[in-house]
A and B are shown apart, each in its own frame.
Chain A
Amino acid sequence: MKHFKILYNGFIISILVSVLSFQNEWLEMRVNVGHIGFAAMILFYLSVLVFERRTGSTQIKKRFGIRNSLLNLTVCMSGVYVLLGAQRMAALPAAILREAIYLRKVPFTQINAGVLGILAGGLFIMMISDRAEKTESLTGASEERTVA
Protein backbone atom coordinates (compact mmCIF):
# COMPACT_ATOMS: atom_id res chain seq x y z
CA MET A 1 0.00 0.00 0.00
CA LYS A 2 2.93 2.33 0.71
CA HIS A 3 4.07 2.07 -2.91
CA PHE A 4 0.53 2.70 -4.19
CA LYS A 5 0.25 5.83 -2.06
CA ILE A 6 3.57 7.21 -3.28
CA LEU A 7 2.75 6.45 -6.92
CA TYR A 8 -0.71 8.00 -6.56
CA ASN A 9 0.79 11.24 -5.27
CA GLY A 10 3.48 11.05 -7.95
CA PHE A 11 0.76 10.77 -10.60
CA ILE A 12 -0.93 13.93 -9.32
CA ILE A 13 2.39 15.79 -9.36
CA SER A 14 3.13 14.47 -12.87
CA ILE A 15 -0.01 16.17 -14.21
CA LEU A 16 1.15 19.53 -12.87
CA VAL A 17 4.71 18.98 -14.13
CA SER A 18 3.46 18.09 -17.64
CA VAL A 19 1.27 21.17 -17.81
CA LEU A 20 4.12 23.37 -16.53
CA SER A 21 6.44 21.86 -19.16
CA PHE A 22 3.85 22.57 -21.85
CA GLN A 23 4.02 26.28 -20.97
CA ASN A 24 7.60 26.29 -22.22
CA GLU A 25 7.31 26.57 -26.01
CA TRP A 26 10.84 25.27 -26.63
CA LEU A 27 10.11 22.10 -24.66
CA GLU A 28 6.62 21.70 -26.08
CA MET A 29 7.87 21.83 -29.66
CA ARG A 30 10.72 19.36 -29.12
CA VAL A 31 9.75 16.93 -26.38
CA ASN A 32 6.77 14.76 -25.58
CA VAL A 33 5.87 16.64 -22.39
CA GLY A 34 3.80 13.70 -21.14
CA HIS A 35 7.04 11.76 -20.86
CA ILE A 36 8.46 14.55 -18.68
CA GLY A 37 5.43 13.97 -16.42
CA PHE A 38 6.10 10.22 -16.28
CA ALA A 39 9.76 10.92 -15.51
CA ALA A 40 8.69 13.26 -12.68
CA MET A 41 6.42 10.55 -11.28
CA ILE A 42 9.19 7.94 -11.27
CA LEU A 43 11.68 10.45 -9.86
CA PHE A 44 9.25 11.33 -7.07
CA TYR A 45 8.68 7.65 -6.27
CA LEU A 46 12.40 6.87 -6.16
CA SER A 47 13.17 10.02 -4.13
CA VAL A 48 10.66 9.05 -1.45
CA LEU A 49 12.06 5.51 -1.25
CA VAL A 50 15.63 6.82 -1.02
CA PHE A 51 14.54 9.35 1.63
CA GLU A 52 12.89 6.55 3.60
CA ARG A 53 15.96 4.34 3.42
CA ARG A 54 18.42 7.09 4.31
CA THR A 55 16.48 8.54 7.23
CA GLY A 56 15.01 5.25 8.41
CA SER A 57 11.64 7.00 8.52
CA THR A 58 8.66 4.84 9.45
CA GLN A 59 6.17 7.61 8.71
CA ILE A 60 5.97 7.32 4.91
CA LYS A 61 2.74 5.32 4.91
CA LYS A 62 1.20 7.82 7.30
CA ARG A 63 2.46 10.90 5.46
CA PHE A 64 0.88 9.73 2.21
CA GLY A 65 -2.49 9.03 3.77
CA ILE A 66 -5.85 10.27 2.58
CA ARG A 67 -5.55 13.71 4.17
CA ASN A 68 -2.22 14.69 2.65
CA SER A 69 -3.10 13.07 -0.68
CA LEU A 70 -6.30 15.12 -0.80
CA LEU A 71 -4.28 18.22 0.01
CA ASN A 72 -1.76 17.35 -2.73
CA LEU A 73 -4.61 16.80 -5.20
CA THR A 74 -6.23 20.13 -4.31
CA VAL A 75 -2.98 22.11 -4.55
CA CYS A 76 -1.84 20.52 -7.84
CA MET A 77 -5.24 20.76 -9.54
CA SER A 78 -5.62 24.38 -8.39
CA GLY A 79 -2.21 25.03 -9.95
CA VAL A 80 -3.35 23.44 -13.22
CA TYR A 81 -6.56 25.50 -13.11
CA VAL A 82 -4.66 28.76 -12.53
CA LEU A 83 -2.31 27.95 -15.44
CA LEU A 84 -4.98 26.85 -17.90
CA GLY A 85 -8.45 27.96 -16.90
CA ALA A 86 -11.53 25.74 -17.17
CA GLN A 87 -11.79 25.40 -20.96
CA ARG A 88 -8.16 24.46 -21.57
CA MET A 89 -8.13 22.25 -18.46
CA ALA A 90 -10.75 20.02 -20.07
CA ALA A 91 -8.57 19.37 -23.11
CA LEU A 92 -4.87 19.96 -22.50
CA PRO A 93 -4.00 17.44 -19.73
CA ALA A 94 -5.98 14.79 -21.65
CA ALA A 95 -4.16 15.69 -24.88
CA ILE A 96 -0.77 15.48 -23.14
CA LEU A 97 -1.62 12.09 -21.63
CA ARG A 98 -3.00 10.80 -24.94
CA GLU A 99 0.17 11.85 -26.72
CA ALA A 100 2.33 10.26 -24.02
CA ILE A 101 0.66 6.86 -24.29
CA TYR A 102 0.29 7.02 -28.09
CA LEU A 103 -3.48 6.56 -28.12
CA ARG A 104 -4.28 9.32 -30.59
CA LYS A 105 -7.77 8.01 -31.37
CA VAL A 106 -9.11 7.99 -27.82
CA PRO A 107 -11.38 11.03 -27.26
CA PHE A 108 -10.52 13.52 -24.53
CA THR A 109 -13.73 12.65 -22.70
CA GLN A 110 -12.59 9.05 -22.27
CA ILE A 111 -9.10 10.09 -21.15
CA ASN A 112 -10.61 12.55 -18.65
CA ALA A 113 -13.01 9.89 -17.36
CA GLY A 114 -10.08 7.49 -16.89
CA VAL A 115 -8.02 10.09 -15.02
CA LEU A 116 -10.96 11.07 -12.80
CA GLY A 117 -11.57 7.36 -12.13
CA ILE A 118 -7.95 6.84 -11.08
CA LEU A 119 -7.97 9.96 -8.88
CA ALA A 120 -11.28 9.15 -7.16
CA GLY A 121 -10.58 5.41 -6.98
CA GLY A 122 -7.16 6.05 -5.47
CA LEU A 123 -8.63 8.28 -2.78
CA PHE A 124 -11.26 5.67 -2.01
CA ILE A 125 -8.65 2.91 -1.67
CA MET A 126 -6.53 5.12 0.57
CA MET A 127 -9.55 5.91 2.74
CA ILE A 128 -10.25 2.19 3.27
CA SER A 129 -6.56 1.52 3.84
CA ASP A 130 -6.23 4.30 6.43
CA ARG A 131 -9.29 2.96 8.26
CA ALA A 132 -7.94 -0.58 8.18
CA GLU A 133 -4.62 0.53 9.60
CA LYS A 134 -6.34 2.55 12.30
CA THR A 135 -8.54 -0.41 13.26
CA GLU A 136 -5.54 -2.74 13.28
CA SER A 137 -3.50 -0.44 15.50
CA LEU A 138 -6.45 -0.07 17.89
CA THR A 139 -7.03 -3.84 17.97
CA GLY A 140 -3.30 -4.39 18.49
CA ALA A 141 -3.23 -1.89 21.37
CA SER A 142 -6.25 -3.43 23.11
CA GLU A 143 -4.76 -6.93 22.68
CA GLU A 144 -1.53 -5.72 24.23
CA ARG A 145 -3.48 -4.21 27.14
CA THR A 146 -5.38 -7.50 27.63
CA VAL A 147 -2.12 -9.47 27.66
CA ALA A 148 -0.63 -7.00 30.14
Chain B
Amino acid sequence: MKLTKIVKAALGLTLSLVIFAGCSAAPAPAETPAEAPAAMMVVDKDKKEIRMETEVNAKYFTEPTRHGVVFKDGSNGEKSVLRGLADQFEFHQALVDIGMEPGNNLALEDMKKSKKVEGDQLDVFVTWDGLGKEIPFEDIIKSSDPRPMDIRFGGNLENATAKKTGCVLCLDSCAVGITSNSSYATGESDNVQFYGNSEVLPEDGTIVTVIFRPHSS
Protein backbone atom coordinates (compact mmCIF):
# COMPACT_ATOMS: atom_id res chain seq x y z
CA MET B 1 0.00 0.00 0.00
CA LYS B 2 2.82 2.34 0.97
CA LEU B 3 4.60 1.66 -2.32
CA THR B 4 1.47 2.53 -4.31
CA LYS B 5 1.37 5.88 -2.52
CA ILE B 6 5.04 6.44 -3.39
CA VAL B 7 4.32 5.63 -7.04
CA LYS B 8 1.38 8.05 -7.10
CA ALA B 9 3.52 10.76 -5.49
CA ALA B 10 6.32 10.14 -8.01
CA LEU B 11 3.83 10.31 -10.87
CA GLY B 12 2.40 13.55 -9.55
CA LEU B 13 5.87 15.01 -9.14
CA THR B 14 6.90 13.96 -12.66
CA LEU B 15 3.77 15.47 -14.19
CA SER B 16 4.34 18.69 -12.26
CA LEU B 17 7.94 18.82 -13.48
CA VAL B 18 6.87 18.18 -17.08
CA ILE B 19 4.24 20.94 -16.88
CA PHE B 20 6.70 23.28 -15.21
CA ALA B 21 9.37 22.49 -17.81
CA GLY B 22 6.82 23.06 -20.57
CA CYS B 23 5.85 26.41 -19.13
CA SER B 24 9.39 27.57 -18.56
CA ALA B 25 10.41 26.42 -22.02
CA ALA B 26 7.59 28.39 -23.62
CA PRO B 27 8.72 31.42 -25.59
CA ALA B 28 8.44 34.97 -24.39
CA PRO B 29 5.17 36.73 -25.23
CA ALA B 30 4.80 37.44 -28.93
CA GLU B 31 4.91 41.20 -28.51
CA THR B 32 8.50 41.51 -27.40
CA PRO B 33 10.18 44.65 -28.70
CA ALA B 34 12.11 42.59 -31.27
CA GLU B 35 8.84 41.34 -32.69
CA ALA B 36 6.90 44.57 -32.78
CA PRO B 37 5.08 44.73 -36.12
CA ALA B 38 6.79 47.92 -37.25
CA ALA B 39 10.26 46.35 -37.20
CA MET B 40 9.39 43.26 -39.21
CA MET B 41 9.77 44.90 -42.60
CA VAL B 42 11.45 48.13 -43.55
CA VAL B 43 10.78 49.65 -46.96
CA ASP B 44 13.18 52.31 -48.21
CA LYS B 45 11.60 53.79 -51.31
CA ASP B 46 14.55 56.12 -51.99
CA LYS B 47 17.11 53.33 -51.89
CA LYS B 48 14.59 50.94 -53.52
CA GLU B 49 15.19 48.36 -50.86
CA ILE B 50 13.03 46.05 -48.70
CA ARG B 51 14.43 44.47 -45.53
CA MET B 52 12.36 41.66 -44.02
CA GLU B 53 13.09 39.99 -40.70
CA THR B 54 12.94 36.19 -40.71
CA GLU B 55 13.89 33.27 -38.44
CA VAL B 56 15.97 30.22 -39.32
CA ASN B 57 14.03 26.94 -39.27
CA ALA B 58 16.71 24.25 -38.86
CA LYS B 59 14.20 21.55 -39.73
CA TYR B 60 15.12 22.24 -43.36
CA PHE B 61 18.84 21.70 -42.83
CA THR B 62 18.06 17.99 -43.16
CA GLU B 63 14.63 17.94 -44.83
CA PRO B 64 13.93 19.08 -48.40
CA THR B 65 11.56 21.98 -49.10
CA ARG B 66 10.61 24.22 -52.02
CA HIS B 67 9.93 27.18 -49.72
CA GLY B 68 12.60 29.81 -49.15
CA VAL B 69 10.69 32.41 -47.11
CA VAL B 70 7.11 32.01 -45.84
CA PHE B 71 5.15 34.26 -43.45
CA LYS B 72 4.98 32.56 -40.05
CA ASP B 73 1.16 32.72 -39.87
CA GLY B 74 0.56 31.38 -43.38
CA SER B 75 -0.51 27.77 -43.84
CA ASN B 76 3.05 26.99 -45.01
CA GLY B 77 4.62 29.04 -42.21
CA GLU B 78 6.57 26.10 -40.82
CA LYS B 79 7.58 24.70 -44.19
CA SER B 80 10.32 27.11 -45.21
CA VAL B 81 14.04 27.56 -44.57
CA LEU B 82 13.31 31.08 -43.30
CA ARG B 83 10.13 31.89 -41.37
CA GLY B 84 9.06 35.39 -42.45
CA LEU B 85 7.89 37.79 -39.75
CA ALA B 86 6.10 40.13 -42.16
CA ASP B 87 3.14 39.03 -44.24
CA GLN B 88 3.09 38.34 -47.97
CA PHE B 89 0.52 41.02 -48.79
CA GLU B 90 2.56 43.82 -47.20
CA PHE B 91 5.57 42.46 -49.03
CA HIS B 92 3.73 42.53 -52.36
CA GLN B 93 2.73 46.15 -51.72
CA ALA B 94 6.28 47.01 -50.73
CA LEU B 95 7.61 45.67 -54.04
CA VAL B 96 5.04 47.74 -55.93
CA ASP B 97 6.03 50.76 -53.79
CA ILE B 98 9.68 50.50 -54.84
CA GLY B 99 8.58 50.44 -58.47
CA MET B 100 8.72 46.72 -59.32
CA GLU B 101 6.35 45.20 -61.91
CA PRO B 102 4.79 41.79 -61.21
CA GLY B 103 4.83 39.11 -63.93
CA ASN B 104 1.45 37.53 -63.08
CA ASN B 105 2.04 34.99 -65.85
CA LEU B 106 1.39 31.77 -63.91
CA ALA B 107 -1.94 30.16 -63.06
CA LEU B 108 -2.44 27.32 -60.57
CA GLU B 109 -2.92 24.95 -63.53
CA ASP B 110 0.61 25.79 -64.66
CA MET B 111 2.17 24.28 -61.55
CA LYS B 112 2.81 20.98 -63.37
CA LYS B 113 3.43 22.45 -66.83
CA SER B 114 7.12 23.37 -66.52
CA LYS B 115 6.61 27.10 -66.98
CA LYS B 116 8.95 29.80 -65.72
CA VAL B 117 7.89 32.73 -63.58
CA GLU B 118 8.22 36.21 -65.10
CA GLY B 119 8.29 39.68 -63.61
CA ASP B 120 10.96 42.18 -62.62
CA GLN B 121 14.21 40.59 -61.52
CA LEU B 122 15.39 41.00 -57.94
CA ASP B 123 18.73 40.75 -56.17
CA VAL B 124 18.20 39.05 -52.82
CA PHE B 125 20.72 39.08 -49.99
CA VAL B 126 20.76 37.99 -46.35
CA THR B 127 22.57 39.14 -43.25
CA TRP B 128 22.37 38.60 -39.51
CA ASP B 129 23.94 39.88 -36.30
CA GLY B 130 27.60 38.99 -36.22
CA LEU B 131 27.96 38.26 -39.93
CA GLY B 132 29.06 41.81 -40.69
CA LYS B 133 28.23 41.64 -44.40
CA GLU B 134 25.49 40.77 -46.87
CA ILE B 135 25.66 37.47 -48.71
CA PRO B 136 23.57 36.34 -51.70
CA PHE B 137 20.41 34.41 -50.81
CA GLU B 138 21.57 31.51 -52.98
CA ASP B 139 24.50 30.94 -50.60
CA ILE B 140 22.11 29.79 -47.85
CA ILE B 141 20.37 27.21 -50.06
CA LYS B 142 21.75 23.83 -51.08
CA SER B 143 20.27 22.20 -54.16
CA SER B 144 20.61 18.71 -55.61
CA ASP B 145 20.85 20.47 -59.01
CA PRO B 146 22.57 23.81 -58.31
CA ARG B 147 21.85 26.74 -60.65
CA PRO B 148 22.36 30.50 -60.21
CA MET B 149 19.25 32.03 -58.64
CA ASP B 150 17.01 34.27 -60.74
CA ILE B 151 14.40 35.70 -58.39
CA ARG B 152 11.41 37.33 -60.08
CA PHE B 153 8.48 39.38 -58.77
CA GLY B 154 5.83 36.88 -59.84
CA GLY B 155 3.02 38.88 -58.19
CA ASN B 156 0.29 36.22 -57.83
CA LEU B 157 -1.66 38.38 -55.39
CA GLU B 158 -4.96 36.75 -56.32
CA ASN B 159 -3.68 33.20 -55.69
CA ALA B 160 -1.81 34.31 -52.56
CA THR B 161 -5.04 35.79 -51.18
CA ALA B 162 -7.07 32.68 -52.04
CA LYS B 163 -4.54 30.13 -50.75
CA LYS B 164 -3.24 32.03 -47.68
CA THR B 165 -0.01 30.01 -47.75
CA GLY B 166 2.11 32.98 -46.69
CA CYS B 167 4.66 32.30 -49.46
CA VAL B 168 7.11 35.18 -49.91
CA LEU B 169 9.96 33.52 -51.83
CA CYS B 170 9.69 30.09 -53.48
CA LEU B 171 12.77 28.20 -54.61
CA ASP B 172 11.25 27.21 -57.97
CA SER B 173 8.76 29.03 -60.24
CA CYS B 174 5.47 29.31 -58.42
CA ALA B 175 1.93 30.53 -59.09
CA VAL B 176 1.33 31.48 -55.44
CA GLY B 177 4.60 32.90 -54.08
CA ILE B 178 5.00 36.67 -54.36
CA THR B 179 8.54 36.09 -55.61
CA SER B 180 10.04 32.87 -56.94
CA ASN B 181 13.08 31.46 -58.64
CA SER B 182 12.88 31.43 -62.43
CA SER B 183 15.96 29.19 -62.69
CA TYR B 184 13.66 26.24 -62.02
CA ALA B 185 10.38 25.84 -63.91
CA THR B 186 7.14 24.97 -62.12
CA GLY B 187 7.08 21.42 -60.85
CA GLU B 188 10.86 21.00 -61.01
CA SER B 189 10.99 20.73 -57.23
CA ASP B 190 9.43 17.28 -57.66
CA ASN B 191 12.85 16.16 -58.87
CA VAL B 192 15.19 18.77 -57.41
CA GLN B 193 15.68 18.94 -53.64
CA PHE B 194 16.43 22.16 -51.79
CA TYR B 195 17.79 22.44 -48.23
CA GLY B 196 18.91 25.23 -45.92
CA ASN B 197 22.71 25.34 -45.94
CA SER B 198 23.72 24.53 -42.35
CA GLU B 199 27.35 25.39 -43.13
CA VAL B 200 26.39 28.99 -43.87
CA LEU B 201 23.20 29.73 -41.92
CA PRO B 202 23.27 30.50 -38.19
CA GLU B 203 21.53 28.24 -35.68
CA ASP B 204 17.82 27.52 -35.45
CA GLY B 205 15.69 30.52 -34.43
CA THR B 206 18.32 33.17 -35.28
CA ILE B 207 16.92 36.34 -36.82
CA VAL B 208 18.06 36.73 -40.42
CA THR B 209 17.35 39.88 -42.46
CA VAL B 210 16.42 39.24 -46.07
CA ILE B 211 17.11 42.19 -48.38
CA PHE B 212 15.33 42.63 -51.72
CA ARG B 213 16.56 45.13 -54.32
CA PRO B 214 15.87 45.65 -58.04
CA HIS B 215 18.38 43.68 -60.13
CA SER B 216 21.45 45.67 -61.03
CA SER B 217 23.12 44.35 -64.17
Task: Give chain A's interface residues, CB within 8 Å of chain B.
Answer: 1, 4, 29, 87-88, 91-92, 95, 99, 103-108, 110, 114, 117-118, 121-122, 124-125, 128-129, 131-132, 135-136
Contacts and interface: CB of A to CB of B under 8 A. Distances in A.
Contacts of B61: 91
Interface stretch (B22-30, B105-113, B151-159): B22-30
A1 B27 contact: no
B6 A128 contact: yes
List the 7 shortest-distance A-B pairs measured between CB atoms, nearest first: A132-B3, A105-B27, A95-B59, A88-B62, A129-B7, A99-B78, A121-B14
B206 to A, nearest CB: 11
A114 B27 contact: no
Interface in B46-80: 55, 57-59, 61-63, 72, 76, 78-79
Interface of B: 1, 3-4, 6-8, 10-11, 14, 17-18, 21-22, 25-28, 55, 57-59, 61-63, 72, 76, 78-79, 83, 203-205
Nearest to A4: B11
Given A92-B62, A104-B72, A105-B27, A125 B6 contact: no
Contacts of A118: 18
Contact of B1 (A92, A103, A104, A136): A136
Contacts of B1: 136
B83 A104 contact: yes
27 contacts: A1-B8, A4-B11, A91-B61, A92-B62, A95-B57, A95-B58, A95-B59, A103-B26, A104-B27, A105-B27, A105-B28, A105-B205, A106-B25, A106-B26, A107-B203, A107-B204, A108-B58, A114-B18, A114-B21, A117-B18, A122-B14, A125-B7, A125-B14, A132-B3, A135-B3, A136-B1, A136-B3
Given A4-B11, A91-B59, 15 more contacts: A29-B79, A91-B63, A95-B58, A103-B26, A105-B55, A107-B204, A108-B204, A110-B25, A114-B21, A114-B25, A117-B17, A121-B18, A132-B3, A132-B7, A136-B3
A25 B87 CA distance: 25
A98 to B, nearest CB: 8
Nearest to B8: A1
Given A99-B78, A118-B18, A128-B6, A91 B58 contact: yes
A148 to B, nearest CB: 21
A32 B72 CA distance: 14
A118 to B, nearest CB: 6
Contact of B59 (A87, A92, A110): A92
Nearest to A126: B7
A6 to B, nearest CB: 14
A99 B59 CA distance: 10
Nearest to B62: A88
Contact of B78 (A104, A117, A122): A104
